[in-house]
Structure formats: structure tokens, C-alpha cells
Chain A
Amino acid sequence: MKIIKLLSLLFAFIFFTSCDNDDDNPDVINEEETITTIRVTLTDPESNVITLQSQDLDGDGPNAPEITVSGNLAGNTTYSGTVEFLNETESPAENITEEVNEEADEHQVIYSTSGSIQSLTTTDVDGNGDDLGLSFNMITNTAGDATITLTLRHEPTKPNDGTLSGAGGETDATATFSVLITE
């Protein structure tokens, strides 16, 4: 009986000391790797700039990305384009494009277009000479509707044929922009 009493006291001690409950609140986590914003900048030969943006500030929260296009594109024009990936939950916003650039061989931006766009060709390469896609040239057709879809893929098969199915890997960010091309 003595042993049991002794042990019960010991257990009680362990049990109740372990219940010490400090009221510290947990630290908030702001996900640093989150991409909240895709920003495409299109510049025509006269240095007019059109911005296409997809912004999703609540990440995997319920709100869908907000898509904005700053203006219409001109027909039969060659635009030089760049794309930026940002994390705007941080202040100042974190530029994820730099990380993509640092690990260029593990990333690729893949484009597809429809409607009044004649061609879109990427103009940059990673350290191995394979396509990267952070900058591109795009030639518009005559007036009409068009869409531009871009997808940032992580760990794609490189080199590839420039299509999503050819690239494989996982999607880190994607957006489809509808644009209007005027004369």
C-alpha cells in the first residue's frame, strides 16, 4: 500500500505540474513564400505601359484573385513584357521574382494566348540555356479580344516544348488576363 501511495503522490505531482498553463498567445505566421500578386508589364515601342495584375491577398482564403488590366492594347504592335511575382502580405512587399531568378533552373513561366495575338516568345534563359520566361516579346494582331494565360511552374522538366503538359512540375502561380486590342 505504501508504494501505491507514494507513487500516486508522484503521479499527482507530474500530472498537475504539467498542467501549468501559461496564457501566452501563439505567434502569428505570415507566409513568406506566398505569392499574392502577379504583375505583367507590357511596354510598346513608344514606351507606353500597360499593366496586367492578378492579386489575391488572402492566399488560400476564400476570396478569389482580383484581376485588373490598366488599358487596351494597340493592334499590330510588338510589346516587350516582363513579369513580377510579389508577396504583398509583407510590408514592403517581398519580390519573389528574385527567388525565381536565383533558382532559374527550377522554374519556368509558361504562356499561352488566344484571340488576336500573333505570337508570344520568351526572351530569357536560365543558367543551362533553357527557357525561363520572366521576359518576353508579344506581337498583337488586328483589333479583337484576346487572352493571355501565364503559369509559373516549380520543378518543371527542362528543356520542354513550352506547353504546360510538356513542362510538368507544379503550379506556383497562374493567371488568365482578358484584354481588348484596338486599332
Chain B
Amino acid sequence: MRYLLFVITFCLSAIYVYSQNCTAILLGEVVDFHDNTPLKNAVIVVTGKNLKTSSDEFGKFTFKNLCEVVIELEISHPECTSQFVTISIEGNTYQKISLEHHLEELDEVKVVGKTVKQTNSAQEVSLNIETIEKYSSATLGDALNEIAGVSTLSTGANIVKPAIHGLNGSRVLMLNNGVRMQDMEWGDEHAPNVDLNSAGSVSVIKGAAALQYGGDAIGGVIVLDQAPFVRIDSLYGKTILNGISNGRGGSASTELVRTYENGFYVKGQASFKRLGDREAPDYVLSNTGVQEIGASLALGKNLFEWGWHFNYSYYQAELAILRSSHVGNNDDLINAINSQEPLVINPFTHEIENPRQEVSHHLAKLEVYKRFEGLGKLKVQYDFQSNNRFEFDIRRGVADNQAALDLNLTTHTLASDFKWDANQDFELQTGLMLRYQNNFADPATGIRRLIPDYDKYDFGGFITSEYSLSDAVVLDAGLRYDFSQVDAKKFYQSSRWEERGYDQEFQDLVIEEVGNQILVNPDFTYHNFSGALGLQYTDYKSSVFRANYALAQRAPNPAELFSDGLHQSASRIELGDLRLTSETSHKISLSAEGNYKNWGYTFEPYLNMISDFMFLEPTGVEFTIRGAFPVWEYRQTKAQLLGLDVNVYTKPHQNWNSNHSFSIVKGKDVTQDAPLINIPSANIKNSVTFNKLKWKDLELKLISDYVFEQNEVLDNFTVFSPEQQEEVLLEINSAPASYHLLGFFAKTSFNLGKKTKLRSSITVNNLLNTQYRNYLNRQRYFADDLGRNIMLQLKLNY
């Protein structure tokens, strides 16, 4: 069966049509996107064909003697960024090309820039390279936090998971260079294993509409891509150095790119970060240092007709976990929560002690593409990923140096897709994906496996299409099917096996009994369907309206199925459920966008209804010899997320601009008529910027970030405290108070010679050293969040 699918993958588009008729004329017109005025002196190149012309004073240009094939035009204009347009020549052809004339200006105004859109009608935002560079020493989650509707679920300052429209983990897909990251994203305290410095662009698709990447993106998709490599002979690079006051350390990142006119390119990149203990306004957050290493190599040949890309990247991080967050039993947890300060405060150190995590990720990818004239583009990709995670707890004796968790996740993926774009108004993309994954939990830990050994097989197929009804209206539709099988071998304690009632339902899975443990072989399959339907309406002047419906289904992840036992870092017993089924999301999102001379806005409401929504919630208490522990069980319910993201920017004066965004999401457990846990609270971000090109490109920016208190939380519950010999309220669901943080940013640039440019900047976070705690920081029980942080950055372009 697998082999058959494999063959289909490649045969799908092995036949192509060949036509040759080279008398066609292309008449083109280059206009301003905003007001339709003709743009003269735009340079138009037919890529790969050595044809070049420029537009006249009416914005018109002509190419003669063209063959009836699909060609690609590169249009560049001194005041606009270059744009690539694919055109199919069918007889004498007319093509209108709109260039974003104000782009340079707009990019300074908006936090987000414009890159290639991944979807037609979904809510989508990208971070521009300046924003990525600004966060060079921070995490991907911190950078994405700039976007309205994107929040973070963090464990201290080092482990930051992005959440889109209130959802995170397995519900957010991460595409790194076209490769879906397999880095144990199911863990709440597992940060994405990517180096932000290796990305040239980051876009966020808020929802599951990008079916080509997967059908289970109930939260959304994060796409990290390389900056495009231009086909010219060139050698360039950049180096960024950061000094960071809070943590008393810094980071460095450097890259060098060599491109050739024949399309060949090679890029090398490396970065390093080292920080010691972070500091809250009043005390040192003991054991919160970090060390991160990232390196990547990309090479390939980048032609219009065909090409290949090879990419290898390595990421390694050693992350200290706040000492005070490592607690024993319920009583310890109660004491830790009730204490206003962390229970352990040591003098500052750069040392990283237990508890800590050590993660590494290897990613290798090879992509080959070929364009078939008159048909479209075929792409085949193989990628390999190896993810290794060690977690060290505080243990007795020699075991202190032995990881408590040691997981190795290996993934092979083969994918191919074909994009049929021969017709100007209609585009069709179809693809297949095969994936094999193996998880190995090393028994050397001496601790029962949190996640068992398993093999996982995935197969997916999709078809998406876009149809331009007119210049103004573009429709899209897509369907996807995913098959997934997980074949695990897991030891259960006999007592747990029976307490869960598995002996009634799953006794046939038992392989053997070893002492008081039972080895079982759960082998489950899931069939998931997803789809998307949408429309985009562009008012020729300046506004865009989008409507999108996305259906997504997600199979339970290994943590949801197999978790079983004490989770030390959370001081709770977590229990998965073998009975879980796939969850299904129906999401409707609307988007209205306007860009005018002095201001612009986006207004984006959405509704996400999820049936069989899997989540972890406290259900009771179990007693062990270490004391009492709250029990958290995975459960399924009907959930509903209703939210709104709004963004407004203004430019009242050529040197002044401002940016304002607001986002809110309401999460509800419909079945129980209760709030959902871990939903971000509403927040308002404002910034005012002054910039003046003449003054060495000076920019000064004041940033305000107001986070409301989450007033919709689950009820707290009481637990028996052996220490106090009575029932005590465990305030585990209470949300911290609202807070307001101020930030400051300043930058200036200098030219050091013809090609070399130095940019220096200073960023101050939490300017007033405000004490605060964030609802979505898992360490909020134990300590305040970070105090003032001053970061100096030097960036050298050469």
C-alpha cells in the first residue's frame, strides 16, 4: 500500500504537454497599487530568457516574439520592491502589474511587512526583517508577540511557545524552511527548536487555511523562510551583536551569502547566545540562565525552469528552569504559591544547574523542483529531523547527573506537490506526503517513561485551488485527507491500568506483565479530513476584504494519549487517555484591511468552534508517599473561541507615526458552560515613533503594552494538606492582576564605506522596572516576571 502511494506521488505529474509557437506579443502596464497611476522607468526582465525592457511614461512595455509558454517577469522600480509575476502567454497577451509604490514608507509605519502570501483569504501577518533582527537575542515567541492575536505560553523567559488565537502546542504548525518541525511541540514547556536568526521572514497564518502544510493547524501556522536569493554575482552578509543587561550576557549572529548569476547560491549562518540568571525587579531569578547555539547551511540552484535547495540546520539549547519552580508535593506547592517571593534566591550566577533542559535538533532537507512549460511546477522534497531532549531534575546522589527524561524523536518525510498555474485565472495545487516517525525513550533515566517508545506513520494528500473571478474577487477552496497511525509500546502500572478501566476495554493490548507493571501495545489509527473555502475582495484603491471558513481535524498527540505519572516540574499527576478521538474545528474568520495616505487598519474577528477539544484539567487529588498531588486528566469537550484582532497605524507627519493594536479572545467550554483554561487575556499595544532619515536614519520609539487581568478562569479547588491537617484552597487557577509595561527603542545607522553599513540600536524593556506576573507564564506561581532589560545591538551589513 505504501509503495503504491509512493509511486502515485511521482507519477502524478510526470506527463506534460509541450507546445512551441513563438510569435506572441506581451503588452504590459505597470501601475501604482494604490491609485492606479502609471509607473515609468520600471525595469522588466523575463527571467532566464535574457530579455529586458523598461516601462514608458504611460507605464507600458512590450515583449515580442514570445513562445506560448509560462514565463516569469521580474519587475523592479527604484521606489518599489521588486516583484515576480508569472504569466502564461496565449497569443497576444495583456498584463497589468500593480506595484506597491508606498511600500518603503509603509514598512516603516507598520510593524509587519509584506511577503508572499501563503493563502488567499485567511488572516495572515508577516514580520519584516527589521523586526526579526530586533529580536535577534530573544525567542521566536517574543518576536511573534508583536502580532495582534499571537500570544505566548511560557515557562520563564527562556521557554516561550507561540500561541495563535489562544491555541498552542500541537495546534500550531511550524514550517521551518518548508519543513514541518517535529520537535515534541506537544509539551507545555517545550519551546520551538528554531533559531530565529536563521530566518529571513516569518509569517503567521491564523487558522488552518494553509492546507498544503497540514490539516491539523487548529490554531494556525507559523512559516519561517529564507530571504530569496537573487540571480546575480554577489557576496554579502551581516553580523549582529547583542549585549543584554538582564542576564548579564549577550548573543552574536553572523551570516554570509554568495550568489552567482547562474542561479547557484550558498549561505552559511551561525549564532550563539549566553545569559546568566535573569532578574525580577526585586530579586534574582535563581537558575534561569540559557545557552543557545544555532548553525545552518543552505545551498542550491535557483532557476526559473528548475532548481534544487539543500538545507541543514542545527539548534542546541541548554535552558535552566527556575529553581523555586521545582516543588515536591501539594503542600510545597501551596507554600510556594502563598509565598510572595521565590523560596530559593541565590546570588547571581552564569551557571546552569538542575532543573534544566538540554535540547538539540538536526534538520536536513533536499528539495528539487522543475517547471513544465504550459503546465506548472513540480516539487519533491525529502527531509530528515532528529530531535533529542534531556530534562534534568533535582535527584538524589549520582542520579543528579542523570537525565530524568531522555527522548529521541526521529522523523523522515517525503512530500511532493504540483502547482498547475498555466491558466492566468485558475491555479491548482495538489500534493502527497508520507512520514515516518520513531520515538525512543532511553531507559537509562531510571525513571518510568513519560512518553513511550512509538512508531508513527502519516500519510496526507491535498488539493487546493484559487480562481480569479475578476480583478477584484479571488476565490479559494481546498480539501485534505490525513491518515495517521501510532504504534506504541508502553508500560503501565497495574494499579493505574485498572484504575483507568483499561483492563475492561483494552485488555487485548497487553503483551506481558513484569512485576507490578504491564507492557501494552496500543496501535491506533486516525482518519482526518480538512478543508477550506474563502474569498478575497480587493477594492482597487486601498482596501481588502477576506472571508474564510476552515475545517480542521487533529489526532491526539502522544502526550494526550499516553501521559501517565508525576510531572515534577508542574507538581501534578498527569493522565492521558487511550480513548481520545480526533478533535474537529470549524473556524470562520473575516478580515477587513485598509491602507490610506496617512493611516491604515486591519479588523479581524473570528469564531472557532471545536468539538472533542482535548485539554488538561484538574480533577482531584491522589496521595503518594511524597504527599498529595493534584491530578490533571485529559478530557474532551465542546469548546468555542471567539476573538477579535484590531490594528491601526497612522502617519500624521512625515517624521512621526504610531501603531495601535488590540486583541481579545474568549474561550468557553460549551459543554460545562465554563471558561477554558490558559486563554490569553485582552491586551492593548501602542507605540509612537519619530524618525528622520537625514539624521543618520534616527528612529526613536516609545512602546506601551497593557495586559488586562484574565477574568475568566476556572474555579480554584481545595485539597487536603497533611502538613496543616485540613482542606486548603489551592489557588492554582487564579490569574495575576493587569499590568502596564513601557518600552523604549532607538536606532541610528552609519555608512562605513560603499557597501558596509553599521546600525546601532538600544532597546529597553520594562522601562519602569514594574513588578508583574503573566497568566500564561507557568512560573507565575513562584516568581515575578523579568525586570528592566537594556539591550544594545550593533548590526553590520557588508
Contacts and interface: CB of A to CB of B under 8 A. Distances in A.
A11 B566 contact: no
Contact of B626 (A26, A99, A149, A172): A172
Interface in A4-34: 4-5, 7-8, 11-12, 14-16, 18-19, 21, 25-33
Contact of B394 (A14, A60, A170): A170
Interface stretch (B28-36, B254-262, B326-334, B530-538): B326-334
A174 B414 contact: no
A28 B326 CA distance: 27
Interface in B1-25: 2-3, 6, 10, 14
Interface in B599-639: 622-627, 629
A116 interface: no
Interface stretch (A41-49, A62-70, A136-144): A62-70
A171 B514 contact: no
Contacts of A155: 394
Nearest to B448: A29
Contacts of B469: none
A26 B394 contact: no
Given A21-B455, A29-B445, A165-B335, A62 B625 contact: no
A122 interface: no
A171 B329 contact: yes
A149 B288 CA distance: 34
B428 to A, nearest CB: 20
A100 B331 CA distance: 22
A26 B328 contact: no
Contacts of A7: 366, 368, 380, 382
B517 interface: yes
Highest count of chain B CB atoms <10 Å: which of A27, A29, A54: A29
A64 to B, nearest CB: 4
B446 A29 contact: yes
Interface in B285-341: 326-329, 331-332, 335
Contact of A58 (B366, B441, B447, B496): B496
Contact of B447 (A29, A103, A176): A29
Contact of B495 (A8, A12, A14, A58): A58
B332 A60 contact: no
Contact of A25 (B326, B512, B627): B512
Contacts of B452: 26
A92 interface: no
B625 A33 contact: no
Contacts of B447: 29, 31, 33
Contacts of A3: 368
A76 B597 CA distance: 92
A101 to B, nearest CB: 11
Contacts of B228: none
Highest count of chain A CB atoms <10 Å: which of B327, B436, B723: B723
Contact of A4 (B331, B368, B493, B517): B368
A15 to B, nearest CB: 5
Interface stretch (B176-184, B395-403, B656-664): B395-403
A60 B380 CA distance: 48
A102 interface: yes
B515 interface: yes
B489 A28 contact: no
| Size bin of chain A's contact surface | 35 or more
A111 to B, nearest CB: 12
Contacts of B627: 171, 174
B672 interface: no
Given A4-B368, A15-B436, A58-B496, A29 B395 contact: no
Nearest to B489: A26
A154 interface: yes
A25 B489 contact: yes
A174 B491 CA distance: 27
A27 B453 CA distance: 10
A63 B516 CA distance: 12
A151 B628 CA distance: 13
A36 interface: yes
Given A15-B414, A18-B412, A25 B519 contact: yes
Interface residues of B, number: 68
A176 B627 CA distance: 10
A35 interface: yes
Highest count of chain B CB atoms <10 Å: which of A29, A61, A96, A106: A61
A170 B625 contact: no
Given A170-B394, A171-B328, A174-B722, A14 B446 contact: no
B505 interface: no
Given A4-B380, A11-B414, A26-B491, A168 B368 contact: no
B335 A60 contact: no
A70 B2 CA distance: 64
B551 interface: no
Contacts of B702: none
A71 B370 CA distance: 85
A35 B448 contact: no
A62 B192 CA distance: 33
B624 A59 contact: yes
Contacts of A14: 382, 384, 412
A99 B6 CA distance: 57
B449 A170 contact: no
A154 B434 CA distance: 48
Highest count of chain A CB atoms <10 Å: which of B436, B453, B455, B626: B626
B414 to A, nearest CB: 5
Interface string B369-390: 0100000001010101000000
Contact of B623 (A11, A64, A168): A64
A11 B414 CA distance: 7
Highest count of chain B CB atoms <10 Å: which of A15, A27, A103: A15
B50 interface: no
A65 B515 contact: no
Contact of B396 (A63, A99, A114, A151): A99
A167 B754 CA distance: 65
A15 B327 contact: no
Contacts of B499: 61-62
A56 interface: yes
Nearest to B487: A21
A164 interface: yes
B451 to A, nearest CB: 12
B443 interface: yes
A65 B624 contact: yes
A65 B455 contact: no
A155 B327 CA distance: 11
Contact of A8 (B380, B496, B565, B629): B380
A62 B495 CA distance: 6
Interface string B724-746: 01000000000000000000000
A38 interface: yes
B87 interface: no
Contacts of B366: 7
A50 interface: no
Nearest 9 pairs between A and B by C-beta? A171-B328, A170-B328, A62-B499, A64-B623, A60-B566, A56-B625, A61-B493, A58-B495, A61-B495
Given A26-B441, A60-B565, 7 more contacts: A4-B368, A12-B6, A61-B499, A96-B396, A100-B396, A102-B397, A173-B626
14 contacts: A1-B370, A5-B10, A7-B382, A8-B10, A16-B3, A25-B512, A26-B489, A28-B514, A28-B517, A56-B625, A58-B495, A61-B499, A65-B625, A176-B722
